[in-house]
Amino acid sequence: MLVTGGGTGGHTYPALTAIRALQTRLAADGGKLDVLWVGTAEGLEARIAPAEGIPFDTVATGKIRRSANPLKMVSPANMKDMARVPLGVAQARKIVAGFRPDVVLATGGYVAVPAGLAARMCRRPLVLHEQTVRLGLANRKLAGSATRIAVSSESTVPLLPHSVRSVAVVTGNPVRPEVLIGHADKAVQALGLTGFDRRLPTVYVTGGAQGAQQINDLIAHALPWLLQRANVIHQCGPGNVVGLIEHAAGLPDVLRGRYYLSGFVGPELPDVLALADVVVSRSGAGTLAELTALGKPAVFVPLASSAGNEQAHNARHLEEAGAAVALVGDVGMDRLRHALEPLLTDPARRAEMARAARAHGRPDAAERLVDVLLSAASG
Protein backbone atom coordinates (compact mmCIF):
# COMPACT_ATOMS: atom_id res chain seq x y z
CA MET A 1 0.00 0.00 0.00
CA LEU A 2 1.16 3.51 -0.80
CA VAL A 3 -0.14 6.13 1.64
CA THR A 4 -0.23 9.84 0.91
CA GLY A 5 -1.55 12.72 2.94
CA GLY A 6 -0.51 14.87 5.82
CA GLY A 7 0.58 18.36 6.68
CA THR A 8 -1.49 18.32 9.87
CA GLY A 9 -2.50 15.74 12.43
CA GLY A 10 -6.02 15.66 11.01
CA HIS A 11 -4.70 14.05 7.82
CA THR A 12 -1.70 12.23 9.31
CA TYR A 13 -3.12 10.29 12.26
CA PRO A 14 -6.03 8.65 10.40
CA ALA A 15 -3.49 7.38 7.85
CA LEU A 16 -1.24 6.04 10.59
CA THR A 17 -4.17 4.35 12.34
CA ALA A 18 -5.25 2.74 9.06
CA ILE A 19 -1.72 1.43 8.47
CA ARG A 20 -1.58 -0.09 11.95
CA ALA A 21 -5.01 -1.70 11.52
CA LEU A 22 -4.11 -3.17 8.13
CA GLN A 23 -0.81 -4.51 9.47
CA THR A 24 -2.68 -6.23 12.31
CA ARG A 25 -5.33 -7.66 9.96
CA LEU A 26 -2.75 -9.09 7.57
CA ALA A 27 -0.54 -10.44 10.37
CA ALA A 28 -3.51 -12.36 11.78
CA ASP A 29 -3.67 -14.24 8.46
CA GLY A 30 0.08 -14.74 8.26
CA GLY A 31 0.57 -11.87 5.84
CA LYS A 32 2.65 -8.71 5.86
CA LEU A 33 2.09 -5.15 4.68
CA ASP A 34 4.64 -3.52 2.40
CA VAL A 35 3.95 0.19 2.86
CA LEU A 36 5.42 3.45 1.58
CA TRP A 37 4.31 6.89 2.77
CA VAL A 38 4.62 9.81 0.35
CA GLY A 39 4.54 13.25 1.93
CA THR A 40 6.40 16.52 2.19
CA ALA A 41 9.60 17.17 4.08
CA GLU A 42 7.88 19.94 6.08
CA GLY A 43 4.67 18.15 7.08
CA LEU A 44 3.93 16.31 10.31
CA GLU A 45 4.05 13.04 8.36
CA ALA A 46 7.80 13.52 7.81
CA ARG A 47 8.29 13.04 11.56
CA ILE A 48 5.54 10.53 12.27
CA ALA A 49 6.24 7.98 9.51
CA PRO A 50 9.98 7.45 10.25
CA ALA A 51 9.28 7.36 13.99
CA GLU A 52 6.84 4.50 13.32
CA GLY A 53 9.35 2.66 11.13
CA ILE A 54 7.39 3.39 7.94
CA PRO A 55 9.44 4.02 4.76
CA PHE A 56 8.96 7.62 3.65
CA ASP A 57 9.50 9.52 0.42
CA THR A 58 8.84 13.14 -0.54
CA VAL A 59 7.44 14.98 -3.55
CA ALA A 60 7.09 18.65 -4.40
CA THR A 61 3.72 20.20 -3.77
CA GLY A 62 2.10 23.61 -3.59
CA LYS A 63 -0.24 25.21 -1.10
CA ILE A 64 -3.25 27.16 -2.34
CA ARG A 65 -3.93 30.16 -0.11
CA ARG A 66 -7.70 30.50 -0.23
CA SER A 67 -9.66 33.74 -0.12
CA ALA A 68 -13.28 34.81 -0.52
CA ASN A 69 -11.98 37.33 -3.07
CA PRO A 70 -11.09 35.45 -6.32
CA LEU A 71 -8.62 38.17 -7.29
CA LYS A 72 -6.58 37.49 -4.15
CA MET A 73 -6.29 33.84 -5.19
CA VAL A 74 -4.15 34.98 -8.14
CA SER A 75 -1.26 35.90 -5.86
CA PRO A 76 2.47 35.50 -6.56
CA ALA A 77 2.73 32.92 -3.75
CA ASN A 78 -0.14 30.84 -5.21
CA MET A 79 1.26 31.07 -8.71
CA LYS A 80 4.71 29.96 -7.50
CA ASP A 81 3.28 27.01 -5.57
CA MET A 82 0.95 25.93 -8.38
CA ALA A 83 3.98 25.76 -10.69
CA ARG A 84 5.42 23.10 -8.36
CA VAL A 85 2.45 20.75 -8.83
CA PRO A 86 3.53 19.32 -12.23
CA LEU A 87 6.96 18.56 -10.76
CA GLY A 88 5.30 16.80 -7.81
CA VAL A 89 3.10 14.75 -10.14
CA ALA A 90 6.14 13.66 -12.16
CA GLN A 91 7.99 12.69 -8.98
CA ALA A 92 4.96 10.85 -7.62
CA ARG A 93 4.43 9.01 -10.91
CA LYS A 94 7.99 7.72 -10.77
CA ILE A 95 7.47 6.56 -7.16
CA VAL A 96 4.15 4.84 -7.88
CA ALA A 97 5.47 3.16 -11.03
CA GLY A 98 8.46 1.83 -9.11
CA PHE A 99 6.59 0.73 -5.99
CA ARG A 100 3.58 -0.70 -7.85
CA PRO A 101 1.16 -0.66 -4.91
CA ASP A 102 -1.95 -2.82 -4.84
CA VAL A 103 -3.81 0.21 -3.48
CA VAL A 104 -3.16 3.89 -2.76
CA LEU A 105 -4.71 5.56 0.29
CA ALA A 106 -4.99 9.36 0.21
CA THR A 107 -6.11 11.10 3.41
CA GLY A 108 -5.99 14.72 2.26
CA GLY A 109 -3.63 17.65 2.43
CA TYR A 110 -1.89 19.26 -0.53
CA VAL A 111 0.62 16.43 -0.92
CA ALA A 112 -2.19 13.97 -1.65
CA VAL A 113 -2.90 15.59 -5.03
CA PRO A 114 0.33 14.65 -6.88
CA ALA A 115 0.33 11.08 -5.52
CA GLY A 116 -3.39 10.66 -6.16
CA LEU A 117 -3.04 11.84 -9.76
CA ALA A 118 -0.06 9.54 -10.19
CA ALA A 119 -2.17 6.60 -8.98
CA ARG A 120 -4.65 7.29 -11.77
CA MET A 121 -1.89 7.62 -14.38
CA CYS A 122 -0.37 4.31 -13.27
CA ARG A 123 -3.81 2.65 -13.02
CA ARG A 124 -3.50 1.83 -9.35
CA PRO A 125 -6.72 1.68 -7.23
CA LEU A 126 -7.12 4.95 -5.28
CA VAL A 127 -9.04 5.13 -2.01
CA LEU A 128 -9.74 8.59 -0.61
CA HIS A 129 -10.53 9.12 3.03
CA GLU A 130 -12.31 12.30 4.08
CA GLN A 131 -12.28 13.23 7.77
CA THR A 132 -14.65 16.22 7.69
CA VAL A 133 -18.32 16.59 6.79
CA ARG A 134 -17.45 18.35 3.52
CA LEU A 135 -14.78 17.12 1.11
CA GLY A 136 -11.50 18.96 1.54
CA LEU A 137 -9.89 20.70 -1.42
CA ALA A 138 -7.42 17.90 -2.18
CA ASN A 139 -10.08 15.21 -2.09
CA ARG A 140 -12.38 17.30 -4.27
CA LYS A 141 -9.64 17.42 -6.89
CA LEU A 142 -9.11 13.66 -6.68
CA ALA A 143 -12.73 12.48 -6.34
CA GLY A 144 -13.16 11.73 -10.04
CA SER A 145 -10.10 9.46 -9.97
CA ALA A 146 -11.10 7.45 -6.90
CA THR A 147 -12.00 3.77 -6.81
CA ARG A 148 -13.64 4.33 -3.42
CA ILE A 149 -14.33 7.45 -1.34
CA ALA A 150 -14.45 6.63 2.38
CA VAL A 151 -16.30 9.31 4.33
CA SER A 152 -16.73 9.86 8.03
CA SER A 153 -20.43 10.72 8.08
CA GLU A 154 -23.63 9.83 6.24
CA SER A 155 -24.17 13.59 5.91
CA THR A 156 -21.24 13.78 3.50
CA VAL A 157 -22.75 11.56 0.82
CA PRO A 158 -25.45 14.03 -0.38
CA LEU A 159 -22.75 16.71 -0.59
CA LEU A 160 -20.67 14.69 -3.06
CA PRO A 161 -20.93 15.28 -6.80
CA HIS A 162 -23.58 12.97 -8.28
CA SER A 163 -20.96 11.34 -10.50
CA VAL A 164 -19.00 9.90 -7.54
CA ARG A 165 -21.70 9.06 -4.99
CA SER A 166 -21.81 5.47 -6.20
CA VAL A 167 -18.23 4.86 -4.98
CA ALA A 168 -18.78 6.47 -1.56
CA VAL A 169 -18.81 4.33 1.59
CA VAL A 170 -19.29 5.50 5.17
CA THR A 171 -16.46 4.24 7.36
CA GLY A 172 -16.07 6.92 10.01
CA ASN A 173 -12.77 8.57 10.91
CA PRO A 174 -10.15 6.15 12.31
CA VAL A 175 -9.45 6.68 16.00
CA ARG A 176 -6.24 5.61 17.70
CA PRO A 177 -7.23 2.45 19.63
CA GLU A 178 -5.40 3.54 22.79
CA VAL A 179 -7.78 6.51 23.11
CA LEU A 180 -10.68 4.12 23.67
CA ILE A 181 -9.24 2.22 26.66
CA GLY A 182 -8.50 4.89 29.25
CA HIS A 183 -9.24 4.62 32.98
CA ALA A 184 -10.46 7.57 35.03
CA ASP A 185 -8.74 6.47 38.25
CA LYS A 186 -5.39 6.30 36.43
CA ALA A 187 -5.75 9.96 35.47
CA VAL A 188 -6.40 10.92 39.08
CA GLN A 189 -3.29 9.04 40.20
CA ALA A 190 -0.99 10.03 37.33
CA LEU A 191 -1.82 13.73 37.52
CA GLY A 192 -2.07 13.88 41.31
CA LEU A 193 -5.58 15.30 41.32
CA THR A 194 -5.88 15.20 45.10
CA GLY A 195 -7.87 18.43 45.27
CA PHE A 196 -10.57 17.25 42.89
CA ASP A 197 -14.06 16.75 44.30
CA ARG A 198 -15.22 13.54 42.64
CA ARG A 199 -18.83 14.40 43.48
CA LEU A 200 -18.58 17.16 40.87
CA PRO A 201 -18.31 16.62 37.11
CA THR A 202 -14.90 17.02 35.49
CA VAL A 203 -14.38 19.28 32.46
CA TYR A 204 -11.46 18.71 30.12
CA VAL A 205 -10.46 21.85 28.22
CA THR A 206 -8.11 21.64 25.25
CA GLY A 207 -7.10 23.83 22.37
CA GLY A 208 -4.82 21.26 20.76
CA ALA A 209 -1.11 20.69 21.24
CA GLN A 210 -0.24 24.39 21.11
CA GLY A 211 -3.34 25.55 22.96
CA ALA A 212 -5.93 28.04 21.73
CA GLN A 213 -5.76 31.62 23.00
CA GLN A 214 -9.49 32.13 22.52
CA ILE A 215 -10.37 29.10 24.65
CA ASN A 216 -7.69 29.91 27.24
CA ASP A 217 -9.06 33.43 27.70
CA LEU A 218 -12.64 32.18 28.02
CA ILE A 219 -11.70 29.62 30.67
CA ALA A 220 -9.47 32.03 32.58
CA HIS A 221 -12.32 34.49 33.02
CA ALA A 222 -14.80 31.70 33.79
CA LEU A 223 -12.70 29.95 36.46
CA PRO A 224 -14.35 31.39 39.60
CA TRP A 225 -17.79 30.42 38.29
CA LEU A 226 -16.69 27.16 36.69
CA LEU A 227 -14.75 25.74 39.64
CA GLN A 228 -17.75 26.12 41.92
CA ARG A 229 -19.53 23.60 39.69
CA ALA A 230 -16.78 21.34 38.31
CA ASN A 231 -13.22 20.10 38.41
CA VAL A 232 -11.18 21.32 35.45
CA ILE A 233 -8.24 19.78 33.56
CA HIS A 234 -6.94 22.49 31.26
CA GLN A 235 -4.46 21.69 28.48
CA CYS A 236 -3.42 25.21 27.52
CA GLY A 237 -0.31 24.86 25.32
CA PRO A 238 3.30 25.07 26.57
CA GLY A 239 3.59 28.81 25.94
CA ASN A 240 0.53 29.74 28.00
CA VAL A 241 1.16 28.07 31.34
CA VAL A 242 2.79 30.94 33.24
CA GLY A 243 0.05 33.47 32.54
CA LEU A 244 -2.72 31.07 33.55
CA ILE A 245 -0.89 30.07 36.76
CA GLU A 246 -0.74 33.75 37.69
CA HIS A 247 -4.43 34.15 36.85
CA ALA A 248 -5.43 31.20 39.03
CA ALA A 249 -3.22 32.23 41.96
CA GLY A 250 -5.89 34.49 43.41
CA LEU A 251 -8.52 31.74 43.65
CA PRO A 252 -9.53 30.35 47.06
CA ASP A 253 -7.54 27.22 47.96
CA VAL A 254 -10.52 24.88 47.60
CA LEU A 255 -11.22 26.12 44.05
CA ARG A 256 -7.58 26.15 43.07
CA GLY A 257 -7.37 22.49 44.11
CA ARG A 258 -10.01 21.66 41.50
CA TYR A 259 -7.93 23.18 38.70
CA TYR A 260 -5.22 21.15 36.97
CA LEU A 261 -3.22 23.09 34.40
CA SER A 262 -0.88 21.51 31.86
CA GLY A 263 0.92 22.79 28.81
CA PHE A 264 0.52 19.43 27.08
CA VAL A 265 -1.34 16.21 27.78
CA GLY A 266 0.55 13.25 26.35
CA PRO A 267 0.31 9.51 27.08
CA GLU A 268 -2.21 10.15 29.85
CA LEU A 269 -4.78 11.53 27.36
CA PRO A 270 -6.90 8.33 27.20
CA ASP A 271 -7.22 8.37 31.00
CA VAL A 272 -8.03 12.09 31.05
CA LEU A 273 -10.79 11.53 28.48
CA ALA A 274 -12.13 8.63 30.54
CA LEU A 275 -12.33 10.95 33.58
CA ALA A 276 -13.93 13.85 31.69
CA ASP A 277 -17.69 14.30 31.88
CA VAL A 278 -17.67 17.28 29.49
CA VAL A 279 -15.08 18.48 26.97
CA VAL A 280 -14.51 22.06 25.80
CA SER A 281 -12.41 22.14 22.64
CA ARG A 282 -11.95 23.05 19.01
CA SER A 283 -13.91 20.93 16.53
CA GLY A 284 -11.36 19.40 14.23
CA ALA A 285 -12.25 16.11 12.59
CA GLY A 286 -9.95 14.03 14.80
CA THR A 287 -11.39 15.53 17.97
CA LEU A 288 -14.94 14.81 16.80
CA ALA A 289 -14.06 11.22 15.96
CA GLU A 290 -12.54 10.59 19.38
CA LEU A 291 -15.27 12.29 21.40
CA THR A 292 -18.14 10.61 19.56
CA ALA A 293 -16.45 7.21 19.75
CA LEU A 294 -16.23 7.74 23.52
CA GLY A 295 -19.68 9.32 23.82
CA LYS A 296 -18.46 12.54 25.44
CA PRO A 297 -20.70 15.62 25.71
CA ALA A 298 -18.84 18.57 24.20
CA VAL A 299 -18.93 22.33 23.88
CA PHE A 300 -17.13 23.25 20.69
CA VAL A 301 -15.46 26.58 19.98
CA PRO A 302 -14.53 26.17 16.29
CA LEU A 303 -11.36 27.67 14.87
CA ALA A 304 -12.69 30.46 12.65
CA SER A 305 -9.72 30.31 10.28
CA SER A 306 -9.93 26.55 9.57
CA ALA A 307 -9.79 25.63 5.88
CA GLY A 308 -13.20 26.00 4.26
CA ASN A 309 -14.64 26.84 7.69
CA GLU A 310 -14.72 23.08 8.24
CA GLN A 311 -14.59 23.27 12.05
CA ALA A 312 -17.83 25.29 12.16
CA HIS A 313 -19.49 22.77 9.82
CA ASN A 314 -18.30 19.92 12.03
CA ALA A 315 -19.57 21.55 15.22
CA ARG A 316 -22.95 22.48 13.77
CA HIS A 317 -23.39 18.96 12.40
CA LEU A 318 -23.11 17.47 15.90
CA GLU A 319 -25.15 20.24 17.50
CA GLU A 320 -28.03 19.52 15.11
CA ALA A 321 -27.90 15.89 16.26
CA GLY A 322 -28.03 16.91 19.93
CA ALA A 323 -24.51 15.56 20.44
CA ALA A 324 -22.73 18.83 21.26
CA VAL A 325 -23.08 22.58 21.64
CA ALA A 326 -21.49 24.75 18.93
CA LEU A 327 -20.29 28.22 19.95
CA VAL A 328 -19.72 29.78 16.52
CA GLY A 329 -18.80 33.42 15.94
CA ASP A 330 -18.23 35.83 18.81
CA VAL A 331 -18.03 33.86 22.04
CA GLY A 332 -18.06 35.53 25.44
CA MET A 333 -18.56 34.48 29.03
CA ASP A 334 -22.33 34.55 28.83
CA ARG A 335 -22.49 32.14 25.90
CA LEU A 336 -19.98 29.79 27.51
CA ARG A 337 -21.89 29.74 30.80
CA HIS A 338 -25.20 29.22 29.00
CA ALA A 339 -23.71 26.21 27.18
CA LEU A 340 -22.03 24.63 30.21
CA GLU A 341 -24.58 25.29 32.96
CA PRO A 342 -27.11 22.56 32.02
CA LEU A 343 -24.35 20.03 31.34
CA LEU A 344 -22.71 20.62 34.73
CA THR A 345 -25.86 20.76 36.84
CA ASP A 346 -28.06 18.14 35.16
CA PRO A 347 -26.65 14.58 34.92
CA ALA A 348 -29.63 13.53 32.82
CA ARG A 349 -28.83 16.24 30.27
CA ARG A 350 -25.22 15.03 30.12
CA ALA A 351 -26.36 11.44 29.66
CA GLU A 352 -28.72 12.44 26.84
CA MET A 353 -25.95 14.28 24.99
CA ALA A 354 -23.55 11.40 25.60
CA ARG A 355 -26.02 8.97 23.98
CA ALA A 356 -26.42 11.26 20.97
CA ALA A 357 -22.63 11.60 20.64
CA ARG A 358 -22.12 7.84 20.89
CA ALA A 359 -24.73 7.28 18.18
CA HIS A 360 -22.51 9.27 15.81
CA GLY A 361 -19.31 7.58 16.92
CA ARG A 362 -17.57 4.86 14.93
CA PRO A 363 -14.93 3.24 17.12
CA ASP A 364 -14.52 0.57 14.41
CA ALA A 365 -13.76 3.12 11.69
CA ALA A 366 -10.21 1.83 11.13
CA GLU A 367 -11.48 -1.71 10.56
CA ARG A 368 -14.13 -0.44 8.15
CA LEU A 369 -11.48 1.47 6.23
CA VAL A 370 -9.29 -1.65 6.09
CA ASP A 371 -12.24 -3.52 4.54
CA VAL A 372 -12.47 -0.82 1.86
CA LEU A 373 -8.74 -0.92 1.16
CA LEU A 374 -8.67 -4.71 0.82
CA SER A 375 -11.71 -4.65 -1.44
CA ALA A 376 -10.17 -1.99 -3.69
CA ALA A 377 -6.85 -3.85 -3.79
CA SER A 378 -8.52 -7.09 -4.87
CA GLY A 379 -10.49 -5.37 -7.62
Residue-range domain boundaries for the chain: 2-175+363-378, 178-360
Q: Where are the alpha helices (DSSP H) in the chain?
A: 9-28, 45-51, 70-73, 76-82, 85-99, 112-121, 137-142, 184-191, 213-226, 241-248, 253-256, 269-275, 285-294, 310-320, 333-345, 347-360, 365-378
Task: Tell me what pLDDT residue 78 has.
Answer: 55
Q: Provide Rg for the chain, Cα atoms.
A: 22
Terminal-to-terminal C-alpha distance of the chain = 14
Task: Tell me what pLDDT residue 80 has.
Answer: 60
Task: Tell me what pLDDT residue 71 has.
Answer: 53
Whether CATH 3.40.50.2000 fits 2-175+363-378: yes
Task: Tell me what pLDDT residue 53 has.
Answer: 97
Tell me whether strands 278-281 and 148-151 are parallel, antiparallel or unpaired: unpaired
Q: Where are the alpha helices (DSSP H) in 276-332?
A: 285-294, 310-320
Task: Tell me what pLDDT residue 176 has.
Answer: 92
Considering the domain delimited by 178-360, tell me its CATH architecture.
3-Layer(aba) Sandwich (3.40)
By residue count, the chain amounts to 379
The list of the chain residues with pLDDT below 50 reads: 65-67, 73
